[in-house]
Structure 1
Amino acid sequence: MGRGSYALARVAVIVRAPAGWLAWAGLLSAGTGVLVPGLTGRRIGVLAGAALFLIVAGAVFAVRRGRYAALARGASRAGRSVFLQDRAVTLRNWRRARRWWLLIAFLAALGSSFAVPAAAGMALAGAAAGLWAKALWLGGLERRAGSLLWVRTEWAQASPAAKPVRGYLSTGLAAGDAAPGGGRRRSGRVPAGAAVSEAR
């Protein structure tokens, strides 16, 4: 996996990074779209949106799960010299790098309401639900293995399961400031020294 110091980001945090934004954008565009009659009418739009929500949520949850599972099984123990990136930093970096794509998706969903009210917004919300579910599934893998999954930041620019990702690294459950599944750690942040010591 390489020697020396390098930054690691939590896999589950990257997976769930767009979920909150997509959920709000989807609900806002869907709610606004319901106010527009559209070409198909509100009833058809909402029914189509409900179907899209389920289809998109299931597809997003299922895509690349085999790749994630294989990388998790092959995870090697992280060394003491690694830098564990904070949850907030990972979220901020991911959203900042893709803010224009997220804005375009919101505007496209909003604009499509003039044709099919609320449908595209509910599809965005479905994508958010699928990502949340996948992060929770990763949390289950982490709890069963008794270790957290991390990926080198320079490998996961597109996705933590993309082709450039050569493998995951693992740490103890106390490492970092995010719980299994990438959520906030309820007991508060673990001191930096303790986090790095758990990296072995």
Structure 2
Amino acid sequence: MVRGGQGLARVACVVRAGAAPLWWLGVVAAGIGVLVPGLTGRRIGVLAGAVLFVLAAAFVAGTRRKRYAALARGAARAAKHDVLQDRAVTVRNWRRRHRWWLLLAFLAALGGSFAAPAAGGMLLAGCGAGLWWKAGWLGRRERAEETLLWVRVDWLRGGGRPAGKAVGAYRATGVAAGDAAPGGARRRTAAPV
């Protein structure tokens, strides 16, 4: 980095990074789990999985919202020499750091199918849906305030949580900065000038 600038990653991109792998691993685990009769039977397993899906999505989406809001309110303007990390790099770094946890969660969901078919996979998919929901909430906030939220990359190295204890403050830029739209999705069109 040049002249004291810091590497910054989009908060919404970090939140959204785990959504797709959790969703798809959950869907695959649930699909495989339905094939196993399990101890409870398929019907009970799928019904329990549906309840777990809803609860997990709501819990993950609602967790630490006050912390995100407080950090967003206190966001300082990004400095001229700060380096904005691309969306793809942020997503790749998060997934690389969490690949073993994702694998263990997938194996646990598959193993749980022998007790309650599809329930573990639906729980995992619910966590992914909750992350998408939270990223959408952040995106609506960014659009309303016309400000994109960024977090220092070095604060993400430990656990990779954008609202964890290591995160002291967010940085803010205009909506044209970076290559991701509000909410962390890929930008469909060119950024407004």
TM value normalised by structure 2:
0.95
Deviations 1:111-159 (A, max 9, x none): 1101110001000110011100000000011011111000001112320
Q: For residue 66 of structure 1, give the secondary structure of its aligned residue in structure 2.
A: helix
The residue number in structure 2 matching 1:173 is 175
Q: For residue 150 of structure 1, give the secondary structure of its aligned residue in structure 2.
A: strand
Give the counterpart letter for 1:53 in structure 2. F
Find the aligned partners of 1:54 and 1:112 in 2 and give their Cα distance: 18
Query: 1:6 Cα shift?
Result: 1.3
Give the number of aligned pairs.
189
Query: 1:4 Cα shift?
Result: 1.2
In the alignment, structure 1 residue 12 sits paired with structure 2 residue 9: no
Deviations 1:64-96 (A, max 9, x none): 000000000110100110000000000000001
The residue number in structure 1 matching 2:184 is 182
Q: How does 1:1-200 map to 2 (within 5 A)?
A: 4-157=4-157, 158=159, 159-188=161-190
Find the aligned partners of 1:74 and 1:137 in 2 and give their Cα distance: 18
Q: For residue 168 of structure 2, give the secondary structure of its aligned residue in structure 1.
A: coil
Find the aligned partners of 2:20 and 2:87 in 1 and give their Cα distance: 14
Find the aligned partners of 2:26 and 2:58 in 1 and give their Cα distance: 16
Find the aligned partners of 2:115 and 2:143 in 1 and give their Cα distance: 45
Give the counterpart letter for 2:137 in structure 1. W
Instruction: Show structure 1 runs of 4+ deviating over 4 A.
Output: none
Q: For residue 154 of structure 1, give the secondary structure of its aligned residue in structure 2.
A: helix
Point out where structure 1 has 5 or more consecutive residues left out of the alignment: none
Find the aligned partners of 2:98 and 2:70 in 1 and give their Cα distance: 27
Give the counterpart letter for 2:59 in structure 1. A
Q: For residue 59 of structure 2, give the secondary structure of its aligned residue in structure 1.
A: helix
TM value normalised by structure 1:
0.92
Deviations 1:1-35 (A, max 9, x none): xx811100000000010100000000000011001
Find the aligned partners of 2:94 and 2:139 in 1 and give their Cα distance: 20
Find the aligned partners of 2:151 and 2:166 in 1 and give their Cα distance: 11
What RMSD over aligned residues (CA atoms) do the two structures have, in Å?
1.4
Q: For residue 151 of structure 2, give the secondary structure of its aligned residue in structure 1.
A: strand
Q: For residue 68 of structure 1, give the secondary structure of its aligned residue in structure 2.
A: helix
